[in-house]
Structure 1
Amino acid sequence: MTVEKIDTFGGHRDPVYTLERGPVAEQFFSAGGDGQVVKWHLDRPDLGELVANVPASIYALALHPTSGLLWVGQNYEGIHLIDTVQKREVASLKLTSAAIFDIKFYKNDAFVALSDGVVAVVNTDQLVVRKHLKASEQSARCIAINPIERELAVGYSDNVVRIFDLLTYELKQIIPAHTNSVFTIAYSPEFQYLLTAGRDAHLKVWDVEKKYSLQQDIVAHMFAINHLSFSTNGRLIATASMDKSIKIWDAETYKLVKVVDRSRHAGHGTSVNKVLWTEYHELLLSSSDDRTISVWKLT
C-alpha cells in the first residue's frame, strides 16, 4: 500500500476534535476547541465555510440522515441544530451541564453520550428528552448502533462497554473491555463484530453473535487510541492515536497494513483525534491537536 498526502486544511484556532460527513460525498464538517463548525469541499481545498460558531469546545457532530440538519454538541450547554446551507441555527436543546462526547441516530432517536455517565435519548422530531440511561458514574465516551441485533453499544471511562436494547433501552450486557477509558467503538459493516479501543492503546475485537466474546486483542499503538473508523468498502480500518500516528489495518485479518506518521508521510505533529473515510475517491481524513485536517489517498 502507498499513502499520499493530498491536502492539508487549516484555519481552526484550536485542536480539531471531530469530523463528520457532509450531505454530498465531496463535503465534510470539522469542529473543535475553538467552537467553530466549518464545511469543507474536498474538490476545493481553498473553500472552507464557517457554518456555526458556539462559545465552547465541540467534541461531537452528527448529520441527521433525513432532515439534513447538523447536530452540534456544545460542551456544558446542549445541542444546536444547524441548517448548513442557510448557515443558521434552526433549533436547540438545553440538555446538560456536562461535556458531550458523541451523538448517534437510530430511527426517531438521537443517543447523546455525556461526561456525567448519562446517555440521553432525544426524540429527533420533537427535540425532547425521552430517557436518561444512567449505568455509570463515569463518562459515556462513545456510541455504536447495531440495527440488526437492535443493540446500542456504549463505551465508558470506567473501562467498560455496556450493551443496551435499542427499543426498550434495557441494559443487556456489561463487557469489562479495557484496563482504562474506552474512547472509540464501532460495529463492523456486517455487524458481526464490535471493535473497541481507548486509553490502554489496545484494539479489541468482540464477536457479537457469541455474546460479545473476545476474538482479538491487539497492542495497536504506543499511546491512547482516540478513534477508529472502517473504510467505506469495509476492507480497511483506520486508528488514530495520541502517539501522533494513524495506522491502517486489514478489516478481515486485523493485520497491520500501514503506519502513517510525520517522519514517513508528513503526518500530524501532535495527537490525532479523529479519522473519517469519505466516499469521495475513498479519501481518508484525519484531524489533530495541531489544528489541521489532513487528506490521505491510499492506493
Structure 2
Amino acid sequence: MDNLSVELISTLKGHQNPVFTLENGFFANTLFSGGNDKGVVEWDLETSTFKRILCSVNSSVYSLHLIPETSYLAIGLREGLIMIVDVENQKLVVKLNVANGAVFDIKTLVSKRELIAVGEDGFAYVWCLDNFSLLYQFRIAPTLVRTISISPDERQLAFGSKDGSVHLYDALEYHLIASAAVHTHPVTSLAFDPNGQRLLSGGRDAKLVGWNTHDLSEQLSFIPHMFTVYGIHFHPVHPLFATVSRDKTFKIWDKHTYALLRIVGRDKGFDSHHLSINVGIWTPDGTRFITAGDDKVVRVWEVTI
C-alpha cells in the first residue's frame, strides 16, 4: 500500500447547516446527503453538481439508507419518523413511526427482507419490507443507541449505545449473545470486518476497539484520533478501512496490521474540512471516499491504490 494516494477532486456546496449522513445513490454516480437542513439532497458525482432536492423534511436528517434491490431510500429523522421515498419516481411510499425520539441508524437484513432502525429511546424496531408492517420492537439499552452494524453473512447484529457498550445479537431470532462496555463515552461507530471475524467500535472517547465476534472478548484497542470516531468504513475491494473524526481528519488504515497508511487533514496540506467530519462513505467501486461534516460541505476524494 506504499503507493496509496488521496486527492480532492470536488467540493459539493449547498447545505446551509451541518451534514450528518451520506448514502450512495440509486442512479449511477449519484450521492444523497442530509443533515440539519430541511431536505435530502441528491448530487451528480460525474459533473460534481447539485442534482435535486429529493424531498423536504420537517426535522434534521440523522440517517439515510438505500434499501438494497429497490429504489427506496429510508430517511431517519430527529422527530422519530422514517420516511420511505421511491427515488426513481420521487414519491413518498410510507412513513414509519418509532415510539419516542430520533432515529439514528437504519439497516436492511436482505436475507430476511427486514428493515431495522435504532434511536434515542434505546429500542430496535424491525419492519417487514414486503408491506412495512412492524414485526418486532425490543430494548437494546436503557439509553440512546446510535449505530448498527450487520455481519457480512447477516447472522449477527451489533449495536452501540450511549453508555459506552457494544451489544451483539443473533440476527435470526434477535436474541442477545453478549454485551461489553469498554468505551468510557458513547459508542459512535461500528463496523464488522468483511471477513466477519472481528467487529470494530469507535467512540467519543477517541478509542477504536476490536472485538471477537463469538463472545465480544476484546482483541485490540488503540487511539486513532484526537476526538470522537464518527465512522469506520471498510473498503469494498482492498484490505483497508477509513475512519472519520471530530478532529477534522480522516485516516486510512491497513485492515490486517492496523498500520496507518494516510492522514488527510489541513495540517497535512490537504484542502480538507475545517470542522468536525461527521460521516464518510466509499463509492461502490472504491475509487472515491466521500466526507461531510459541520462545515456544511461534501468533499469527494479520489483514492488510488
Common fold: TM-score over 0.5:
yes
| Count, aligned residues | 298
Taking structure 1 as the reference length, what is the TM-score of the superposition?
0.95
Local SS of the residue matching 1:90: strand
Out of 40, 44, 49, which is 1:46 matched to?
Answer: 49
Indicate the residue corresponding to 1:14 in structure 2: 17
Aligned residue type for 1:220:
P
Aligned to 2:150: 145
TM-score (norm 2): 0.93
| Contact 2:144–2:161, Cα closer than 8 Å, also in 1 | yes
Question: Is the contact made by 1:78 and 1:96 (CA closer than 8 Å) also made in structure 2?
Answer: no
Separation in 1 of the partners of 2:154 and 2:78?
Answer: 31
Task: Tell me if structure 2 keeps the 8 A contact 1:3–1:265.
Answer: no
Out of 246, 249, 255, which is 1:251 matched to?
255
C-alpha contact 1:25 1:278 (8 A) present in aligned 2: no
Q: Which residue of 2 aligns with 1:194?
A: 199
Matches within 5 A, 1:148-163: 148=153, 150-163=155-168
Relative to structure 1, is the Cα distance of residues 43 and 281 closer, same or farther in structure 2, using a 3 angstrom cutoff?
farther
Residue of 170, 188, 194 corresponding to 1:183: 188
Q: Does 1:112 align with 2:117?
A: yes
Question: Per the alignment, do residues 96 and 11 of structure 1 end up closer, same or farther by CA in structure 2, a change over 3 Å counting?
Answer: farther
CA separation of 1:97/1:149 partners in 2, compared to 1, >3 Å: closer, same or farther? closer
More displaced stretch, 286-295 vs 260-269: 260-269
| Structure 2: segments with no counterpart, 5+ residues | none
Q: Distance in 2 between matches of 1:129 and 1:234?
A: 37
Contact 2:169 2:176 (8 Å CA) reproduced:
yes
Q: Indicate how the Cα distance of structure 1 residues 149 and 58 shifts in structure 2: closer, same or farther if over 3 A, else same.
A: closer
**63, 76, 92: which one pairs with 2:95?**
92
CA contact (8 A) 1:76 1:96 kept: no
User: Which whole-Å CA distance do the structure 2 matches of 1:279 and 1:122 have between them?
Assistant: 26
- Out of 88-97 and 263-272, give the one that drifted further: 88-97
Contact 2:151–2:192 (Cα < 8 Å) also in 1: yes
What is the CA RMSD across the aligned residues, in angstroms? 1.5
SS of equivalent to 1:265: coil
1:123 paired to 2:112: no
8 A Cα contact 1:104 1:110, kept in partner: yes
Residue 279 of structure 2 corresponds to 274
Pick from 30, 33, 36 the counterpart of residue 39 of structure 2: 36
Aligned residue identity for 1:21: N
Pairwise CA distance, 1:137: 1.4
**Is the CA contact (8 Å cut-off) linking 1:60 and 1:101 kept in structure 2?**
yes
The answer as to 2:79 corresponding to 1:72 is no
Structure 2: distance between partners of 1:100 and 1:116: 9
Any conservation in 1 of the 2:12–2:297 contact (CA below 8 Å)?
Answer: yes
Give the secondary structure class of the aligned counterpart of 1:133. strand
Report the counterpart of residue 174 of structure 2 in structure 1: 169
Amino acid at match of 2:181: P
1:84-132 CA deviation, whole Å, 9 max, x = no partner? Answer: 1222212112223311100010032111011111111122222122111
The residue that corresponds to 1:208 in the other structure is: 213
Identity rate, percent: 35
Per the TM alignment, residue 147 of structure 1 is displaced from its structure 2 partner at its CA by: 5.1
Please report how far the alpha carbon of residue 74 of structure 1 lies from its aligned counterpart in structure 2 after TM superposition: 1.7
2:92 partner amino acid: E
